[in-house]
Amino acid sequence: MMKKIFNKLFDLGPPRFIVVSFLFVLCIGVLLLNLPFSTKADLPFMDSVFLATASLTVTGLTTVDLSQTLTPFGFIIVALLVQIGGIGIMSITALVFIIMGRKIGLQHRMVLQQTLNVNTVGGVIRLAKYIVIFALSVEGIAFILLCFRFIPEYGFAEGIFSGFFHAITGFNNAGLSTWSDNLTRYVSDPYVCLIMTTLVIIGGLGFTVVLDLYHHRKKFRFSLHTKLMIWGTLIVNGVATIIIFLMEKSNMATLGGLSIFDQWMASYFHAIVSRTAGFNTVPIEQMNASTLMVIMVLMFIGAGSGSVGGGIKLTTAIVILAAVIAYLRGKDKVVLFRRTISNRNILKALATTTLSGVSIVLMIIILSLTESGVRLMAIVFDSVAIFTTAGFSIGMIMNLSLMGKLLVCFLMFFGKIGPLTFVFMFSKKSDAKIRYPEEDILIS
């Protein structure tokens, strides 16, 4: 019976299967969060749907104070949803099949290929196995390191639990915390800040990059994707750290009252987490408008392709920028690290960026109508954070109307699966091989 159901689901095709499996896990998460022993305070049904969606999409937003609402069991449910959403439903399913000795068919491999955002079906099962093992290993190391700090502060039980929860939400770039003030209490603690930012960076690089770094660590013959991710990450994070420091060092509500070392540490922390994670050690809503604009750009760029993070992806932004530079220099090819980028990749990057930008603009317009009492800056900033699954908010999320919550849930879902996957659900591949003559049009 179950085999027939799975076969019918696989027949839907990779994009539809991803959506259906996501909705299935979401429903289970909502049901578990509504159990009496999941909460210690009232959790309205719509808020449980919102929390489950934010957890599964690793967005990290919430309309309630988790520390005052969830029991330890409820936090475990959230952590499991974050883990499933970060590693991927299909990766976990593949590992279960391997453990059970079940054969994994071509359709399952094709869904995995779509989920992991790799170019070929070959090796996806091995990649999925490595992903799960690698993620659990990194989280395990981070858990132990965090326990060295949390157990002396909060006692054995709470210290263990806090280390467990933050190791998972950190690696999966979810931005959720067991504390109401997120990580602001650790703004002057480089130990915790460096562990959390390292988790975010590793999770945001992308699993294919990590494996490439490991397999070719001796000869340094990395793929073009890996080179772009490493150099892009270093440059974006470095520049963002300097900009945030310069813009916020005199703001007494954020960095102004800190020592020079803590100012740089907080600047670095927010440069890292702004691209996808959503943790904070200073009040984001108190930052200058110019800094918030920079953070919006970082959120829109996002993490790496095939990673746990969101956004249009760093390599997408690099390809778009490289295409613009190539055009301005009169070149007809986009070349990076002595490799020519295919027109198909350029078109994909352009489509992803355009669909993402249009989606955010449409959501800003709609939320401006449904949330009329919220200032425009908060709507714009939060809309970018929602779509890119970055998890930041400067005031809109906690005051959403019912319609607003529904719209935000859809946008989190849409941002997580990706606009191209969503469009491919309703499109049919054309087999037409007709080529039409070219003709120039006027473009200013």
Q: What is the pLDDT of residues 180-206, one digit of tens each?
A: 999 999 999 999 999 999 999 999 888
- The tokens describing 255, both together, are 């960095």
Bridge partners (DSSP) of residue 339 are 336
Residues 6+ apart with CB under 8 A from 170: 142, 195, 196, 199, 200, 203, 277, 279
Asked if residue 240 lies in contact with residue 287, where contact means CB atoms within 8 angstroms, the answer is: no
pLDDT of residue 210: 83
CA distance 90 to 338: 35
Rounded to 5 degrees, φ, ψ at 418 are 95, 140
φ and ψ at residue 428, rounded to 5 degrees: -120, 135
In three-state form (DSSP H/G/I as H, E/B as E, the rest C), the secondary structure along 26-63 is HHHHHHHHCCHHHECCCCCHHHHHHHHHHHHCCCCCCC
Side-chain-side CA neighbours of 296 within 13 Å: the count stands at 20
What are the b/e assignments for 5-29, b being 16+ CB within 10 Å?
Answer: eeeebbebbbbbbbbebbeebbeeb
| Cα four-point dihedral sign 362, 88, 309, 344 | negative
**Where do the domains of the chain lie?**
18-425
Q: Residue 57 burial (CB < 10 Å; 0-12/13-18/19+)?
A: buried
Q: How far is CA 390 from the centre of its chain?
A: 6
Question: What pLDDT score was predicted for residue 124?
Answer: 63
- Tokens linked to 180: 């109401």
Q: Hey, what are 235's tokens?
A: 């440059």
pLDDT at 85: 86
Residues of the chain with pLDDT under 70: 1-17, 89-125, 127, 218, 419-432, 444
Contacts of 262 (CB under 8 A, 6+ apart): 187, 188, 255
Residue 121 dihedral angles phi and psi, to the nearest 5°:
-75, -30
Q: Which pLDDT score is estimated for 386?
A: 92
* Residue 2: per-residue pLDDT: 47
**Quick check: 211 and 130 in contact, CB under 8 A?**
yes
